[in-house]
Amino acid sequence: MSRISSKALAIAAAATIAAASPLAFSPNAPFAVAQNTQGVDINADASLTIDKRLGEAGGTTTPLQGTSFKVERVAMTNQLNTAAGWQEASDITAAGAAAANVTGEAFTVATGADGKAVFPDVTVGLYRVTEIQNGNYTVAAPFLVTLPLIEDGVVNYNPTISPKNQLLEPTKSAVDTNVTVGQDIVYTVNAPVPAGDVLQDDTRTITQFRIEDTLQQGLTYNQTEGAQVTVTGGAGGETLEAGTDYTVDWTAPKLTVDFTDAGRAKLAEWRATNPGLTVSVKFNATVTQIPANGQFSNTAQVFIPNATTPLDTTPSTPNDGTDDAVTTQYSDVAVSKTVNGVNVDEGTTGAGAVFEIYECTAQGSSYQIAENAAPLTGANAEGTATAGTTITTAGGSADAAAVANGYALQFDPEKQYCAVETQAPAGYLLKPDPTPLNLTTPGDADSRPIYTATVNNVKDNIFGKLPATGTTTMLAMLAIGLVLFAGGAAYQLRRNNA
């Protein structure tokens, strides 16, 4: 590269030859007009090195590899070996880096393992430097830099500039257990606050900070509950005022929390001494219709200074979702009912059995209802209205058993669920232990996953097969046993519903 012009970070260096006054990381900083320009050799070879660092300004840093910078030469009428040239550079800088008129070819270089991007053999002049966004790292503002850079009266044709980056990883979580139609999923977005642009005088500015969450069809923002915006990770006592420090806008389907000039100034001040400063936005989303595929999958975006694209949230914990989105999964169930091991027993099907669906755990070869588990609430087949916690078997023929169908129950794919019979078909004994449900249809873009189980009942014929006389004691014992069994089953259900 013999002669270079390219765009990157905003540094303005103003100077006199005798006493330099460099201004760094300030796209709108004024230039001091050089009083003595004879020391600037406009034919000298110059270079610019960007030493990119990960860490806090003034703190411990490490080299950041893979961040690209674009450098562009700014068109000027006068040369930097004249007072007119420095005055022109001052005027261009006052107008801002974005307004600078660039000329010639732009050059882009990525930082290496040492964190450095080197632009060699650059001609004397004014340049605009622009950092290109690198994933979830913060982005410094475009800046202007003169080559040479005059620092403390020293003319430096080969300056090194060391901007700092931080890694921002916004997250999102959901409180959604057993939420059905008409109820709310509670979402929380946690957005780390960027350090902003740090000037040489140690002042800071955050030019943009906004959180957007576009809700999936079937969810709507609960405006009655509103959004709660709080700050964590500070020294304590930081508070934000709605309407003054931030605004909340719901334009379906997007919820936007945007920080005002006053709010960003507060955040910049707090962030200066609190690297862990985080803004949390908590809001309720009402379920209006459960999707055909049973899945709400949401990602929020955080807009930070100087970045061309927003940062996407990831799930706060594995339980909040898979991949990059927070996910709430609904599934259908189909519990088949056989009687005495067949679909039809002496003309009777398994119709009329009632089930509830619980989270359950394996205990050896059997299952039990999970501690503190509540029965799952389903919806109608269309997912537009709640349908309660019970499902009842219907139909049945020699070719197909009676089936209890449940729709849009909220299943956690990582957990086990069981069908628990609460009422047996007339003339048959209740099955006492939970029956595990197994995923038989994974579901796709157009349908929900389906979990199935088959539950068999045996005929209640114990008393009918006892001798007609001399059985008083046995009958009493059997009666007591049945009472105890029924009471134990009821207690187990009450305990798990408590």
CA distance 280 to 240: 11
Query: What is the β-pairing status of strands 402-410 and 366-369?
Result: unpaired
Helix count (H) and strand count (E) of the chain?
3, 39
Question: Do the domain assignments include residue 366?
Answer: yes
**Domain final position from 271, 299, 323:** 323
pLDDT of residue 206: 95
Phi, psi of 421 (to 5 degrees): -80, 125
pLDDT of residue 204: 84
* Per-residue tokens: 292: 């055909």
pLDDT of residue 29: 37
Question: Do the domain assignments include residue 498?
Answer: no
In the 8-state DSSP scheme, what is residue 348? Answer: B
CA distance 150 to 300: 45
**Domain final position from 323, 343, 374:** 323
What does the radius of gyration of the chain's CA atoms come to, in whole angstroms?
A: 35
Is 491 strand, coil or helix?
helix
pLDDT of residue 197: 85
pLDDT of residue 187: 98
Question: Do the domain assignments include residue 37?
Answer: no
CB within 8 Å of 85: residues ≥ 6 apart: 34, 37, 76, 78, 79
Looking at the fold, whether 181 and 152 belong to one and the same domain comes out as no
Please give the residue range of the domain that contains residue 458: 329-487
**Domain final position from 165, 200, 222:** 165
pLDDT of residue 18: 23
Total of domains in the chain? 3
Whole-structure pTM value: 0.82
Looking at the fold, whether 381 and 429 belong to one and the same domain comes out as yes
pLDDT of residue 324: 85
Looking at the fold, whether 299 and 381 belong to one and the same domain comes out as no
CB atoms within 10 A of CB 483: 10
Tell me the pLDDT of the chain (498 aa) as tens digits. 333 332 222 333 332 222 222 333 333 333 333 434 557 999 999 999 999 999 887 777 899 999 999 999 999 999 999 999 999 999 999 999 999 999 999 999 999 999 999 999 999 999 999 999 999 999 999 999 999 988 777 899 999 998 888 999 999 999 999 999 999 999 999 999 999 987 666 778 999 999 999 999 999 999 999 999 999 999 888 999 999 999 999 999 999 999 999 999 999 999 999 999 999 999 999 999 999 999 999 999 999 999 999 999 999 988 888 778 999 999 999 999 999 999 999 999 999 999 999 999 999 999 999 999 999 999 999 999 999 999 999 999 999 999 999 999 999 888 999 999 999 999 999 998 999 999 999 989 899 999 999 999 999 865 445 554 444 444 444 455 554 444 554 545 555 555
Looking at the fold, whether 147 and 186 belong to one and the same domain comes out as no
Looking at the fold, whether 157 and 177 belong to one and the same domain comes out as no
Looking at the fold, whether 144 and 240 belong to one and the same domain comes out as no
pLDDT of residue 152: 78
Looking at the fold, whether 378 and 480 belong to one and the same domain comes out as yes
Contact between 330 and 290 (Cβ < 8 Å): yes
Question: Position 463: which residue type?
Answer: F
Looking at the fold, whether 196 and 299 belong to one and the same domain comes out as yes
What distances in angstroms separate CA 327 from CA 299, 323, 411, 471, one per listed residue? Answer: 9, 9, 11, 60
Looking at the fold, whether 240 and 387 belong to one and the same domain comes out as no
pLDDT of residue 56: 83
CA distance 221 to 185: 10
Looking at the fold, whether 284 and 376 belong to one and the same domain comes out as no
Contact between 55 and 62 (Cβ < 8 Å): yes
Contact between 447 and 292 (Cβ < 8 Å): yes
Sign of CA dihedral 167, 63, 127, 272: positive
Contact between 107 and 177 (Cβ < 8 Å): no
* Per-residue tokens: 161: 């500039």
Question: Do the domain assignments include residue 26?
Answer: no
Looking at the fold, whether 153 and 251 belong to one and the same domain comes out as no
Question: Do the domain assignments include residue 149?
Answer: yes
In the 8-state DSSP scheme, what is residue 18? Answer: S
Contact between 80 and 125 (Cβ < 8 Å): yes
Looking at the fold, whether 257 and 337 belong to one and the same domain comes out as no
Question: Do the domain assignments include residue 307?
Answer: yes
* Per-residue tokens: 336: 């088949």
CB atoms within 10 A of CB 169: 12
Helix (H) or strand (E) holding 126, with range, is strand 125-131
Domain of residue 100, CATH code: 2.60.40.10
* Per-residue tokens: 343: 């679909």
Q: HSE-up of 370 (CA within 13 Å, CB side)?
A: 15
Of 269, 74, 68, 279, nearest to 192 (Cα)? 279
Question: Do the domain assignments include residue 269?
Answer: yes
Domain of residue 314, CATH code: 2.60.40.740
The verdict on whether omega for the bond into residue 413 sits within 30 degrees of 0, i.e. cis, is: no
CB within 8 Å of 170: residues ≥ 6 apart: 189, 190, 191, 192, 300, 302, 311, 312, 313, 314
pLDDT of residue 407: 98
Question: Do the domain assignments include residue 23?
Answer: no
Write the DSSP assignment of 416-480 as a string of letters.
-EEEEEEEPPTTBPPP-S-EE-EEEE--BTTB--EEEEEEEE-B--TGGGS-SSS-HHHHHHHHH
